[in-house]
Structure formats: structure tokens, C-alpha cells
Structure 1
């Protein structure tokens, strides 16, 4: 292979997985030098450094200016010193750095990475944050922090170069949100925010937001109980600037339809995604034909049927309590909204909550469907099915997974008798 041009070898090596790339660069000095001089390979390859392997790395790959590294499980001063010594000749070259698993962050350590562009901090703590030097990393563009302690925010206030923030946090709180607001206020170039499991109830309590971003990805416009109008207030605060929005589920609760309608019709977005599914591209609504929802998204589901020609619906019911009366007020009124629906798949995981029967009004409104699939343990299905099956006059394909073979046969016989009577 040493007869091949270096650019050809680089093209070949970039298709290797991380472990294979590491084995190749250890093979000989010729291959090691190819990696050492290729930014493309060094940015793709991620070097995992921990107290258990750092001494071996010093022997295996001593002179490669790594650009993408992960440091994990650093818990003692000795661990910290060993890794710092290994990196002393590479710190200026590193562009992507991930600190994870019990890494106690030291401000002076971060200050060594003067060319760092992307920093990812996961499950880390800050020891004596008030007594440490605050790092200033002039080239930092992307900051990702997952499952963090609140002290970490102090390290990055006034990190003015950051353009993208990503936060994941499982335990919300208003104090945490205050720190987030302080942080974003210090980043004048911020244009992309990703929030996952962060903010929750406290996020929409702000009267003003110090940022206006072009891209926003979040679950926070959806995961609310009792907080309604502030969701629209937040969206209005980004109106005119925000061009790309991604949400992880449809807006929950009674005003979910209003929130979704505002996003689609008033935000003037160029791109709008539900998970990875485009609802708007290049400023135009897409031809959305399939939809999957949970019981929390019922109001938004109705708005989706108003906005898009949905033909296939999957309803996933979870093991949680829902207000049957409230659901009935939404679902029971007769409507032609679902007249284009061809396929309905109900996957009932609600177990003892028996949520399947609570959606009778929806099933009765799906009058034109041709395919029906039901998976449920709800013992009321015999009664419920005999109420909605007569409404489904176009039904041609039924699939039942209800655990009771005799009941399946009874309902299939009942469905066939309905079909015969119509013919």
C-alpha cells in the first residue's frame, strides 16, 4: 500500500471505523505520518484517553497532533497530570474535545486548548468553581453540555465566540434556567440552540429572552402541564429571526393545536421538523401522509389533520393516566376531519390504565379507513369494537393482537357479518 499516493490512502482510511483507524496509525511510521498530516482523518478519528490507557498511548502514538479527543474518568490529581503530560504537544491542535464520566473540570486545563472549536461536557462536575480561573477559548463555536452540575455554567459566561449551544438535563429547575439565561445573554453570536430534557416548567416563565436564534431544536415547546400562553410568548420572541425549528413531539395539552397552528402559519419558517420528518421545507408545507402520535398529542393531532392530507395514523397509548372526560370532549363530536384516513394502527401499552376504550370517539370518526390494526390488553375491546366497527364501512383488512384467540374470532366474525350486510 505504500506505493499508493497519499491522497488515495487518505480517501481509503476515512471509510474505516475508529478502532481500525487507530490500528492503522500504529502499524508503521509511514501510515502514522499520513494521519499526522491529514486534517480530514484527524477530525474524523476520535482518540479516547483515560487513566488506564494514557501511558500506552504515549508509546503507541507519541507524535500525532490529534484534533478530536475524548477524556474520561479522571478523578485524581495523578490522573489529571498524566493526561496533561500526554497532551502537552497536542493541545494547540485539538479542535474537538469531549470530557465525560466523573471528569472534574479545571479552568486552567481548558485554557490550554486555544484552537478548540467544539467542546462536549457529559456527566462532569466542577470543583471549587469560584476559586478557579475562567477559561477563555477564542475559537470555540460549539458548546454541548449533558447531565451537568450548575457550576459548569460559570465557566462559560462571556464565551462570546459560541454560535451553537446544546444542553441535556434531566432535572429542571428555575435556578438552572436563570443560569442559562445569564449564559445566553453573554453570547452575542449565538444562533443555534438545542435543548433536550431541559427547562421544562421554568423555561417559559421568563418575560424576556436575551437571544434570537436562527435554528432551535427542542422538546420544551411540547412537554408542559398547565403552562399554556407562555409557549406562544416564547415563539413570538423568536418570530422574524427563527428560520429552522425542530420539535421532538407535537405540542401537548389543550392548547397544543393553537401552538402548532401558530408555528405552521405565523412563524414564517423555512424548515420545520417533527423529529426527522419535514413538515415545512423551503418555506412550503410538505405532503405529509403518515403520522404517529401519543395520547398527549390529541389536540395537535387534530391540527395536523387540518394542515396535512394524513392517510395513515399510528396511535401509541402509554402506561399513564389520562382524563377520560377531557379526552371525550375532544374526540366524541362527529367530524369529517379524518375522511382521507386510509389506515389506523392502535398500539396500546397503557396496561392497567385501559386507555384504548377512552378513544372510542376517534375510532368512530375514522369512517373511511380500509386497514385497521389493534394491539391491546383492554378487556373492554369487545364492547368498544362493536360500537366503532359499524362506522367503518370501507374496512377491508383487520389485524388484531388482543391475546384472547376466542375474542379475536368473535370480533372477526362480527366484522365479516357487517361486511356481508353492506354487500
Structure 2
């Protein structure tokens, strides 16, 4: 075949069907160049996958869609991403019966209803379908509005897109449902109810525009809530100060409180947040709780509550803290004494930090927001992540394996006050920390098991000038000749130091 002339190959390719042409283009680079440079062959491909429409809309994307399909389909890829394209009926029909495809993502596309219907009808073995920033256009073919059964579909993710896609999906097997209705809530009202009536296996539910979603379900389909057996609920963006919405939220939580293990509850405005939070604290035995913020609850109300200790919760996240009394925060944390992972953002006072390690004896992972300076002593802590550290960190943690400091502003080398004999990984993002050989040696002495030290955006390093005679202990640092591994990640502006 290699001895055939270009003209013979062109004649051969012209007489093949489209899929055979695509397969031939994958054989070798020279064949691919011949195919892509022969106008008659390219025209044949364009007619099949609608390239003419793409050229009109994206004139600078030369044959990108053709090459994408060549690469994906000829190699039997299970994951296909369609992005920044006009998906017409021809493209969809080209994908029909590609039963090896398990995951389809449509991102930032214009697609007709007929093309979408044709697409999912052909991809019958899909397990995951994600639609993001995608909009339906005028139909180019007549649409059969019957729902398509997709027996293996487990995950459906629709975000910032029109929701008329729901009218064609007839599967009853969805376990993970993600609906972001921030752009087109009117669509979700129109198509949501009939779609949800089919669902009996949803375990993981994410809803943006949560109050409207719950009102839609509770008021128009009051029995629908009972058919879900939710384990994970992520519900966000309550926009109206509406007591009806508050009551519906609590009722929805009450229905699922026996099965719910994970709750993400993020609010911007509206709702009687205190009432919802108190219901969660008093009645729900969750394993994971993620709150957007913690509002101060009146101390008298808090004291009157008969709240038993909740030993089920393993992971707690509070992203923003709006509280005037640290005493109130202590009362809140003491309920969850068996916590193993805590993420606590905002400014963390030393008193709260002391309380955390005193009252949460099983804590293994801790992520904090802003700290001016801190003294941490713990025998159980394994991972510590500080997003912003202003001054000195005094750390004594014999079982700590990983330390991350997102932003370190202290000049000099105060952070050397670390005593973590089990530490294996240290990551620091800093512009001011002085990194010297003495600093590295002290760090190694206090953390003998340290293997990886990453410094992001550091201005002061010893890496450029360190020579072989600067290293006293040749087993201390490792490089091929200089006993130091010089590794610089230009993309992330990161220096990697690997110990042996």
C-alpha cells in the first residue's frame, strides 16, 4: 500500500463510504493528509456531518468537527464531547447506532429538537448524559414526541440550558439528577413534572433555584416526593422571602430524613434560614452537611433546645460565617463530636481553633480560611489545609501526612516551626517566604518522612545557585549530579523538591 501513488489513493478513497474514509484517515498521517486535502472527499464528509453549517457559523474552525469524529469514532471511544458546534440532523444521524458510546457531553451548542431526538435514540447504551449551555433551534425534521427509553442511563446533568430536552427522555433508571435552572426556569416548570413522575431510583439530587423546584414538586405533584429515596440532596439559591417556601423545604426534608445521608444547603437570600437550620440540627442524622453560612441563632433559643449529640456526622463544611458570638459557634460544633473532616472558612480565631481540637477528638482533616497566626497540636490530624496564613504557624502533629498553605504572607522562614514526623507532602503558595538550604535542612529534620515539597510562585529560592559543594549530606537531597532534584513546572509556576 505504501508504494501506491497519491492519485491511486485518492481514487480509492473517493469510492469508499464515509465510515471507511474515516477509518482510512486513522491508518497513517500521509493518508489523513490526502483525505483532508482532497476537495471531493472533504465535500462528501461535509455533506454527512453538516460541515457546511459549521463553516457558516465558525469559519475559523477548519475541519475541526470532521477531525474530532475521525479521532473518536474510528477508535471506538466511549466518551464523546460535542462542543461549540451546530448539531443538525445530519450530525446526529451520523452517530446513530454507535452503541459503544457510554458518556455524551454537549457543551455550548445549538441543536435542533429533531437532531437531539435522533442523537439519543441512536446512542441507546448511554450511561451519562451532560447538557451544558446548549440551546434548541428550529426543527430541521419532524419530531416524534414519544419518549425514548434509555435503560442504562444513570446520570443526567442539565445546566444553563433549555429544559425541553426532558420531554424526550423516557428512562426510569436515573440515580444522579443535576438541574441548574438559573437561566431558563420557565422551561423547567413546563417539562419537569412529567419527567419526574417517571423517576423512582433517584439517589443523588442537585437543584439550583431550589425554592421554586420544591414548590413545583410539593404543590403540583405532592405525592412525587415520596417516590424518591434520596441519599444526597444538594439544593441552592433561595430567592424569595416566602414562608410557604420555608414550610415546603422543611416538609421536603422531613419526607427524606430517614434516607438522607448528605445535605448541601446553600442560600443567598430568602427563607427563614434559622428555622430550616434548627430543623436540620434537631432532627436529621446526616453523615455530611455542607452549609453556605452559619447565621447567629439567638442564644436563648439555642439554650432552650433539647439537642442530643449527633455522632453520625463525619464531614461538616461552613463556607461563610456570619456570627457575632464565638460562644454560639462552639455550641453548634459541640453537637457533632464525632466529626472526622471539618471545612471552616472565613477568619478563624485562635479560640475557635483551640475549641476544635479540644472538643473534636476524632478530627482527621481540617480546612481553614484565614488565620493570622496559629498554634495547632493534634495526634489525630492527617490533613491540614490553610487557605491564608498571615504570620507564624506552630504545628505539632505526629500523624499529619499532608499540609497545604494556600497563601503565605510572612517574610522570612517562620513556617519552619513544624514538628510533624509523619509529614509526607508540603505545598505552599507564597511570594515572600525565604527558601534557603538552612530552611530545607531544618524542615527535613523536623519532618523526616517528607517526600514532596512544592512551592508555588516563590520569588526567593536557592535552586538557581545551589551547587554540589553546598550540599553537606548527599543523602539529603537527590539529583543526578548535584544531589538535588531541580524540577520546575512552568505551566503552574511551581518548584518541586523531591526528597529520598
TM-score by length of 2: 0.44
Identify the residue that residue 72 of structure 1 maps to in structure 2: 83
2:241 pairs with 1:225: yes
2:282 pairs with 1:265: yes
How far apart are the structure 1 equivalents of 2:185 and 2:275?
Answer: 26
Identify the residue that residue 146 of structure 1 maps to in structure 2: 159
Q: Is this contact kept in 1: 2:102–2:127, CA < 8 A? A: yes
Of 306, 310, 321, the residue aligned with 1:293 is: 321
2:111 pairs with 1:103: yes
Q: Aligned runs of 1:166-185 on 2, under 5 Å?
A: 166-171=178-183, 173=185, 176-177=188-189, 179-185=191-197
**More displaced, 259-268 or 300-309?**
300-309
How far apart are the structure 1 equivalents of 2:68 and 2:345?
Answer: 53
Q: Is this contact kept in 2: 1:108–1:133, CA < 8 A? A: no
Identify the residue that residue 165 of structure 1 maps to in structure 2: 177
Aligned to 1:308, the other structure's residue is in SS state helix
Q: Is this contact kept in 1: 2:316–2:343, CA < 8 A? A: no
How far apart are the structure 1 equivalents of 2:288 and 2:260?
Answer: 10
How far apart are the structure 1 equivalents of 2:127 and 2:186?
Answer: 30
Q: Tell which structure's C-alpha radius of gyration is larger.
A: 2
Question: CA 1:61–1:270 in 2, change beyond 3 Å: closer, same or farther?
Answer: closer
Q: Is this contact kept in 2: 1:257–1:303, CA < 8 A? A: no
Q: Which structure is higher in strand share?
A: 2
Aligned to 1:284, the other structure's residue is in SS state coil
Q: Is this contact kept in 2: 1:98–1:121, CA < 8 A? A: yes
Instruction: Provide, for residues 173-227 of structure 1, a one-character-per-residue CA deviation record: whole Å limited to 9, x for no partner.
Output: 577346323322211111111112x34446336242253311111214x554234
Q: Aligned runs of 1:13-32 on 2, under 5 Å?
A: none
Instruction: Provide, for residues 207-257 of structure 1, a one-character-per-residue CA deviation record: whole Å limited to 9, x for no partner.
Output: 42253311111214x5542343222122112121212112235x8557322
How far apart are the structure 1 equivalents of 2:315 and 2:71?
Answer: 52
Paired residues, number? 269
TM-score by length of 1: 0.52
Question: CA 1:303–1:265 in 2, change beyond 3 Å: closer, same or farther?
Answer: farther
2:124 pairs with 1:114: yes
Identify the residue that residue 358 of structure 1 maps to in structure 2: none
How far apart are the structure 2 equivalents of 1:312 and 1:60?
Answer: 45
Q: Which structure is higher in helix share?
A: 1
Of 60, 64, 74, the residue aligned with 1:63 is: 74
**Larger RCO of the pair (alpha carbons < 8 Å, separation 6+):** 1
Q: Is this contact kept in 2: 1:142–1:163, CA < 8 A? A: yes
How far apart are the structure 1 equivalents of 2:270 and 2:87?
Answer: 48
Question: CA 1:234–1:166 in 2, change beyond 3 Å: closer, same or farther?
Answer: same
Aligned to 1:204, the other structure's residue is in SS state helix
Q: Is this contact kept in 2: 1:256–1:299, CA < 8 A? A: no
Question: CA 1:224–1:304 in 2, change beyond 3 Å: closer, same or farther?
Answer: farther
Question: CA 1:172–1:266 in 2, change beyond 3 Å: closer, same or farther?
Answer: farther
How far apart are the structure 2 equivalents of 1:202 and 1:88?
Answer: 34
Of 223, 237, 240, the residue aligned with 2:258 is: 240
Instruction: Provide, for residues 22-68 of structure 1, a one-character-per-residue CA deviation record: whole Å limited to 9, x for no partner.
Output: xxx97969xxxxxxxxxxxxxxxxxxx98542333455566311110
Question: CA 1:143–1:311 in 2, change beyond 3 Å: closer, same or farther?
Answer: closer
Structure 1 vs Structure 2 CA RMSD: 4.5
How far apart are the structure 2 equivalents of 1:143 and 1:311?
Answer: 29
Aligned to 2:110, the other structure's residue is in SS state coil
**More displaced, 161-170 or 119-128?**
119-128
